[in-house]
Amino acid sequence: MVWQATNGSSMILGAEQGEDGVLRMWQITPEPTQERYIYFEIYDNTHWARIDGIIGEDGERTPQYKLDAYEIPCE
């Protein structure tokens, strides 16, 4: 998939859903300077979150930010 930013930059990402049901994404291009991870947590039908972080040389995962998303009905 391609993510396009409003400043014109973009990145190509791969994605797969694991056996645990968690959707995971990774950056393909441009080549990341540090290994990152992205996954989604689903809390219910109207609330989910995207968690982004980095993976250190020791393999330790360090979350950097969490984007909460809520479905809001259109009026």
Q: Find the mean pLDDT for residues 35-52.
A: 88
Number of structural domains in the chain: 1
- What is the reported pTM? 0.58
Asked if residue 61 belongs to a domain, the reply is: yes
Which residue range forms the structural domain that includes residue 8? 2-70
Asked if residue 75 belongs to a domain, the reply is: no
Task: Give one DSSP letter per residue of 9-73, joined into a string.
Answer: -EEEEEEEE-TTS-EEEEEEESPPSS-EEEEEEEEETTEEEEEEEEE-TTS-EEEEEEEEEE---
42 vs 5, which has greater pLDDT?
42
CA distances from 3 to 9, 11, 28, 29, 38 (A): 9, 5, 11, 11, 13
54-69 pLDDT tens trace: 888 898 989 899 999 9
